[in-house]
Chains A and B, each alone.
Chain A
């Protein structure tokens, strides 16, 4: 647990006071985290996300309350970044995982090709024609494989470590946000090269996809924070 400037306000002085303070802080954090985790899980399902948001906000407000009353809890921004990047990974994984493993279920054959027909025909064009099924867009399967098996699991692990205020969590988070840069650069380049396949006949070409997907830039946004935060707040 960090014992930075926040500790002074609540502790009565002496080791017993500090222990109480640490335990109280841990409990407060855990209480907030229950709401945060519940909210994030619901938000990760996309369709139930609107119910998850209030839970998440309640968790944040609990944490802020604890912080104001002098307890040593995680900085709000670390909480935000940690859960948001996790949400980002969960939402991405969901779509790509069903395209990889469940592409012949009705759910998959409804959700992905309709989304594809509206925003990105990579998920509509010749859907389920490849032997492996799912998207037939050139290069798309490769990005799915690297995402679902390497980048997103690492991202989720990093978030867990970051939320626990661990040093390795902070380091892995930096790493995984940089891999996010790699994913975005490569993925968008691939889309652009095969733009005819990706956008012909689409209901909302180009603008639709960008408006939809631009909100997944959390890794880019987090990088300046991760590089300028004082590393001392993360412990072994």
Chain B
């Protein structure tokens, strides 16, 4: 039970890291494009 719980928690942490990491990546790409082009 404990092991299962711990695995679940790790998976949830990974999920959060991946999601917010993706958003941060998209922001970075958009900012880069903004710097590169004349918006």
Query: What is the CB-to-nearest-CB distance from B25 to chain A, in angstroms, rounded to a whole number?
Result: 9
- At the interface with chain B, which of A45-53, A56-64, A122-130, A182-190? A182-190
Give the contacts of A198-236 with B (CB-CB under 8 A).
Answer: 199-202, 205-206, 210, 214, 220, 223-224, 227-228
| Contact string against B for A residues 175-195, beta-carbon threshold 8 Å, 1 for contact and 0 otherwise | 000000100110011011001
**Is the CB of A27 closer than 8 A to any CB of chain B?**
no
The verdict on A202 contacting B39 (CB below 8 Å), with A185-B22, A192-B30, A195-B30 known, is yes
B39 near A200: Cβ-Cβ < 8 Å: yes
With both chains docked as a complex, state the minimum distance between the C-beta of B23 and any C-beta of chain A, in angstroms.
7
- Interface residues in A, total, Cβ within 8 A: 22
Q: How many A-B residue pairs have CB under 8 A?
A: 48
Contacts A195-B33, A206-B34, A220-B19 given; indicate if A227 touches B12 (C-beta within 8 A).
Answer: yes
**Residues of chain A contacted by B39 (CB below 8 angstroms):** 196, 199-202, 205
Check if A228 sits within 8 Å of B22, measured CB to CB.
Answer: no
Give Cα A74 to B30, complex, Å.
42
- Docked CA distance A220–B23 (Å): 12
Docked complex Cα distance between A210 and B23 (Å): 10
Query: Which residue on chain B has the smallest CB distance to residue A180?
Result: B19
Please state if A205 and B34 are interface contacts (CB–CB under 8 Å): yes
Q: A199-B34, A223-B15, A224-B16 are in contact. Are A192 and B22 (CB under 8 A)?
A: no
Q: Given that A181-B19, A184-B23, A220-B19 are known contacts, is A199 also in contact with B30, CB under 8 Å in the complex?
A: yes
Secondary structure class of chain A's binding surface, majority of residues? helix
**A192 contacts which chain B residues (CB < 8 A)?**
26, 29-30, 33
A189 to B22, CA, bound (A): 10
Determine the distance from Cα of A223 to Cα of B33 in the docked complex, in whole angstroms.
32
**Binary A-proximity of B28-39 (CB < 8 A = 1, otherwise 0):** 011101100101
- Among A191, A202, A206, residue most surrounded by chain B Cβ atoms (within 10 Å): A206
**Cβ B16 vs Cβ A188 within 8 A:** no
Question: In the complex, A223→B9 CA distance in Å?
Answer: 11
B7 vs chain A, min Cβ distance (A):
12
- CA–CA, A184 and B18, complex, Å: 13
Which single residue of chain B is at the shortest CB-CB distance from A198?
B30
> Separation in Å of the B2 CB from the closest CB of chain A?
13
Question: What are 15 pairs between A and B in contact, CB < 8 Å?
Answer: A184-B19, A188-B23, A191-B26, A192-B33, A195-B30, A196-B37, A196-B39, A202-B39, A205-B34, A205-B39, A206-B30, A214-B23, A220-B20, A223-B12, A224-B15
